[in-house]
Amino acid sequence: MKYIRLTKEQLEEMHQEFINFLATQSITAEEWEDIKKNQPETAEQELDVFSDLIWEGVLQKAEYLEHFSPNHIFLFYIDQVTMNLIGIKVDNPAIDLTTREGYQWLQNNLMDDSVSLYTSSKNISDDRNNDIFVLIRQGAVITKGELYRFFDEHLRS
């Protein structure tokens, strides 16, 4: 398994996709029930293969990620060869960017001396999807990139 198995909730949400996955392997619903009952290790392997396929599809499409911590926001834009970072750091222990109030403070005080903005870029490895997956495992979430584009425009002006 390259990534991690989807959670029970995720698998339930992808029920139809899993049925289609089994059908591509000519496994009927009855056969699947039999496999789960009599060959649990085979069933586990099928779930792992399906999970990896889903992760590959999701990661291939991912371009923007965000990771919030109490005093940092990391915004990523990832194309096919480069990972670009916009970092926001707040040097004020009274501000917690993971709360609504802390984020609101940042919006109202972007030019405050305690706020630092910085950028960085690096080439991604030969396994782009794994690079993204590592960030997700560290707490980043895939987004549509609105926040990244906002700060990118702010830094360019």
Q: Are residues 56 and 123 in the same domain?
A: no
Q: Are residues 71 and 122 in the same domain?
A: yes
Look up tokens 């560290």; give the residue: 138
Contact yes or no for 151/75 (Cβ under 8 A): yes
Q: Are residues 86 and 37 in the same domain?
A: no
Per-residue tokens: 2: 């390259």
* H or E segment and range at residue 85: strand 82-90
Look up tokens 């779930």; give the residue: 47
Q: Are residues 25 and 48 in the same domain?
A: yes
- Model confidence at 9, pLDDT cuts 50, 70, 90, reads very high
- Model confidence at 146, pLDDT cuts 50, 70, 90, reads very high
User: Does the pLDDT value for residue 155 go beyond 90?
Assistant: no
Measure the CA dihedral 144/150/153/157, to 10°: 180
Q: Are residues 46 and 80 in the same domain?
A: no
Q: How many domains does one find in the chain?
A: 2
Task: List the domain range (segments joined by +) for residue 47.
Answer: 8-61
User: Domain for residue 2, yes or no?
Assistant: no
User: Domain for residue 3, yes or no?
Assistant: no
Q: Alpha-carbon distance 126 to 133, whole Å? A: 13
Question: Looking at residue 157, what is its pLDDT?
Answer: 78
Q: Are residues 146 and 73 in the same domain?
A: yes
Non-local CB neighbours of 85 within 8 Å, separated by 6+ positions: 74, 75, 76, 119, 120, 121
Q: Are residues 78 and 25 in the same domain?
A: no
- Provide, rounded to the nearest whole percent, the portion of the chain with pLDDT above 90: 90
